[in-house]
Amino acid sequence: MNTLRHWLLALCGCLALLASHASAHAAETAICYNCPPEWADWAGEIRALHEATGITVPFDNKNSGQAIAQLIAERASPVADVVYLGIGSAFEAEKQGVITPFKPVGWDRIPAQLKDPKGYWFTIHSGTLGFFVNKAALGGKPVPQSWADLLKPEYKGMVGYLDPSSAFVGYAGAVAVNMAMGGNLDNFGPAIHYFQQLKHNDPIVPKQTAYARVLSGEIPILIDYDFNAYRAEYKDHADVAFVIPREGTISMPYVMALVKNGPHPAVGKKVLDFVLSPKGQAIWADAFLRPVMPAAMSPKAAARFLPASDYARVKPVDYQKMGEVEQAFAKQYLAQVH
C-alpha cells in the first residue's frame, strides 16, 4: 500500500511539474495581430524581443482592418494579446471596445498627440507616404515626382496602392492624395475623382503588404511609406527610389494596444514595454521608421532619410477626425471606385 501511495505521490508530482512547464511555456508566447515580418522589420523586432525576454510572438499577416474585424469576431473569447494598428484604426478599435488601457514604460515621454490620454493606444513609430519606385522596372521612364504624374498614360499598369477600404496604408494614401488635391476630411471628393482617373491607368490594388512585389518589378510604383523604400535601398540593395510628391503628403503614426481580456495580459504588457524600450525603438529607427522616442535615431539612421527640405512638404492632419471618417470613406470608395 505504501509503495502504491509513494508511486501515486510521485506521479502527482510529475504531473504538477509538467503542468508547471506547460504554464511557463504558455506565458512565453504572446499573440500579436497585424505583425507581418516584411512590414517595418517586425521580423527583427520580434527576434530581438525573444532574445531579450524569451517571449515568442508568431508572425501575423493581417492588416489593420482585418485585425479589428478579427478582434470583434473574437470579442467573447479573445485570442490576441496585443495589436498593431494604423492610428486611424486605433480609434475604431477603442470605439468597438476590443482594446483596454495600459500605459507602458516610457509612456510619459510620448508626445500627447501621439497617445490616447487614458492609455488605450500609443504610437511606437511613424512613416511618411510617398512613392516607392523600382527604377529598373520603369523601362527607362522617368521616376514620377508628383501625384499628377501617376495619371500619365506612360505609367499605365505600373502604379499600385493598397486597398484603401481595407489596409490602413491604403487609406492613409487616400487622405494624402485628397489633401494634395485640395480636399479635406469633410470632403473626399478630390480623392475619389483621383482614384477614378487612376483606374483608367489599370492600377494594381493588393489588400496586403506588397513589398516583395515592388522588388520583383511586378509593381514598379507603389504608394507606400518611406521606410519600405529605404529598406529596399539600404538592406536589399535594390535599384529603388523614394519620392515625396510635389503637391504634398502626410506622415502617419502606427500604434499598439493591449487587447481587452486577452489570454496572456502580463506577457502582452511585456511586449508593449519592449517596443518602447531603447533597444526596441532603435530597431524601428534602423528599419527606417521615425521612432516615437527621437533619441533612438542614430546619426547613421537619420542620414538615410531624404533631406529635411523634402519632408517639409508633409502636411498636418487631424488623426482623430481621420479615424472617425475612415469607414465613411471606405463605403464611398467601394461605391464609386472599386
Those residues with Cβ within 8 angstroms of residue 14's Cβ, 6 or more apart along the chain or in another chain: none
Q: What span, in angstroms and rounded, lies between the C-alpha atoms of 264 and 259?
A: 10
- Separation of first and last alpha carbons in the chain: 77
**Domain spans in the chain, listed from the N-terminal domain onward:** 29-126+252-302, 127-251+307-336
How far apart CA 332 and CA 217 sit, in angstroms, is: 31
Q: pLDDT tens digit string along 99-135? A: 999 999 999 999 998 999 999 999 999 999 999 999 9
User: CA nearest 312: which of 244, 227, 224, 252?
Assistant: 244
CATH number belonging to domain 29-126+252-302:
3.40.190.10
> What does residue 85 show for φ and ψ, rounded to 5 degrees?
-145, 150
Q: pLDDT-derived band of residue 25, with 50, 70 and 90 as boundaries?
A: very low
Query: Grid coordinates in use for 306?
Result: 531624404
**Separation between Cα atoms, residue 284 and residue 124, nearest integer Å:** 8
| DSSP-assigned letters across all residues of 19-41 | HHHHHHHHHTB--EESB-TTSTT
Any idea which architecture 127-251+307-336 has in CATH? 3-Layer(aba) Sandwich (3.40)
Indicate the pairing of strand 82-86 with strand 32-33.
Answer: parallel
pTM, 2 dp: 0.78
Q: State the DSSP H helix or E strand holding residue 123, giving kind and residue range, or none if neither.
A: strand 122-134
Q: Is the pLDDT of residue 21 over 60?
A: no
Question: Using a CB cutoff of 8 Å and minimum separation of 24, what contacts does 102-111 make?
Answer: 102/257, 102/258, 102/269, 102/272, 104/269, 104/272, 104/273, 104/275, 104/276, 105/273, 105/276, 105/277, 106/273, 106/276, 106/277, 106/293, 107/276, 109/293, 110/276, 110/292, 110/293, 111/292
Q: pLDDT grade, residue 7 (50/70/90)?
A: very low
User: Residue 274 is inside which H or E element, if any?
Assistant: helix 265-276
* pLDDT higher at 166 or 232: 232
Contact 180, 147 (CB under 8 A): yes
Q: Which of 1-5, 32-36, 64-68 has the lowest mean pLDDT?
A: 1-5
**pLDDT of 260 above 50:** yes
Element (H, E) at 52: helix 42-53
Say what the pLDDT of residue 151 is: 98
What gap in Å lies between CA 313 and CA 29, rounded to an integer?
A: 42
**Whether the domain at 29-126+252-302 and the domain at 127-251+307-336 fall into the same CATH topology:** yes
Contacts of 181 (CB under 8 A, 6+ apart): 147, 190, 191, 193, 194, 247
pLDDT at residue number 5: 52
Residue with cell 488623426: 319
Average pLDDT over residues 177-193: 97
| Residue 281, beta-bridge partner list | none
Q: Are 286 and 301 in contact (CB under 8 A)?
A: yes
